[in-house]
Homo-oligomer: A and B are copies of this chain.
Amino acid sequence: MVGGKRPTISDIAKAAGVSTGAVSYALNNRPGVSEPTRRRIMDIADRLGWVPSSAARSLSDGRANAIGLVVDRPARVIGVEPYFMQLISGIQGALAGGPTSLLLQVTDNSAAELAAYRRWWGERRVDGVLLVDLVQNDPRVELVRELRLPAVVLGEPVVPDLPCVWTDDELAVAEVLEYLVALGHRRIVRVAGPTKFVHTQTRSRAFTTAAARLGLPDARVVHADYSDEAAARVTRRVLTSGIAPTALVFDNDVMAVSALGVAHELGLTVPDQLSLVAWDDSALCRLVRPALSAVRRPIAERGAAAVRLLLDVINGAPAEQVKTSDPELVPRSSTSHPPTP
């Protein structure tokens, strides 16, 4: 176990006085060696501190024992948003103990993302990939299909034959709206992420539908890009032009926090004069004053479920579409009755 020299199966074979084939069978728990021999080999193996060379194994069985994740968001956004770190935590949880590792890439343009998948595939570096932030007609879908690269989408089932892990956001959207309406709000605006994302569209559709059902003609959707700057700009505009809404629902936590600042700047007290709801609960929401009411989604659970599904798919399982537990609204101090005019 001392520096530099890593034992190989032939070292073990030599020490045990058997062939390397026997060692391989023994170490992989397959028939072909007697129980005593197997024990002896395994003892020697871990006395020597043997660990299989992933390269050799990959080369021979075609498995990389790694999965890939590419996150394509500009650096300035990715830093603040706790979402990805939570996701990664969940992923790691499901990976822990197993032989599979996570390859991570952060890019800031979608071409680089495609290139990354293509390269990983070509290099046989990954057995499969996770796809986040699907957009309309996402080129990645075609790519993984063309490459026959096992992939799991983190998001709602848009492509019939692609496995995915999704959360029922529509439900949560409706719940939030009903909650706000119950508090007395009638003018509600949703500050969404970029239109291109499938999940943005899903939520916006659900928002519009629920608003119609609840009879809210003034409900509408405006767009920002998840960053605090854009959110501030949009919020400022929404609150100062025309008939201001009494409640805002955001597509992430950062934008909601940013809006809190804007409200303060405009002299509006939250929640007395303006109610705010964040999407994706995080410590961020708890930290600010007033603490933000938020929709908590099982992010880590999603990551873990996606990994499990991906590993299954890699092993030939059919393309399931897994639903996580439902999001829940966590009311805090940023929501209340609208001001009585």
Pick the contact of A80: B84, B101, B104, B284 (CB < 8 A): B284
Majority SS of interface residues in chain A?
A: helix
Residues on the B chain within 8 Å of A273, using CB: none
- The answer to whether A282 and B124 touch (CB under 8 A), given A3-B148, A289-B260, is no
In chain A, positions 42-77 with a C-beta closer than 8 Å to chain B are 49-56, 58-59, 64, 66, 75-76
**Shortest distance from the beta carbon of A72 to any chain B beta carbon, whole Å:** 11
Q: Does A258 contact B (CB under 8 A)?
A: yes
Pick the contact of A4: B106, B148, B286, B287 (CB < 8 A): B148
Residues on the B chain within 8 Å of A59, using CB: 53, 55-56, 59
Residues on the B chain within 8 Å of A291, using CB: 261
* Residue interface bits A256-270, CB-to-B below 8 A is 1, else 0: 011011001000000
Q: Are B106 and A104 in contact (CB under 8 A)?
A: no
**Shortest distance from the beta carbon of A143 to any chain B beta carbon, whole Å:** 11
Determine the distance from Cα of A105 to Cα of B55 in the docked complex, in whole angstroms. Answer: 19
Q: Are A75 and B89 in contact (CB under 8 A)?
A: yes
Residues on the B chain within 8 Å of A66, using CB: 103
Q: Does A82 contact B (CB under 8 A)?
A: yes
Residues on the B chain within 8 Å of A35, using CB: none
Closest to A82 in B: B79
Residues on the B chain within 8 Å of A112, using CB: 96
Interface centre among A52, A88, A286 (most CB of B within 10 A): A88
Residues on the B chain within 8 Å of A300, using CB: 75
**Shortest distance from the beta carbon of A251 to any chain B beta carbon, whole Å:** 16
Q: Are A92 and B78 in contact (CB under 8 A)?
A: no
Residues on the B chain within 8 Å of A49, using CB: 122
Instruction: Write 8 A-B pairs (CB below 8 A) sorted by A numbering.
Output: A6-B122, A54-B124, A55-B58, A79-B89, A79-B283, A101-B105, A258-B287, A287-B288
Q: Given A6-B122, A75-B86, A92-B105, 12 more contacts at CB 8 Å?
A: A2-B146, A4-B148, A49-B122, A52-B123, A54-B124, A55-B124, A80-B82, A101-B125, A102-B105, A103-B103, A254-B283, A284-B284
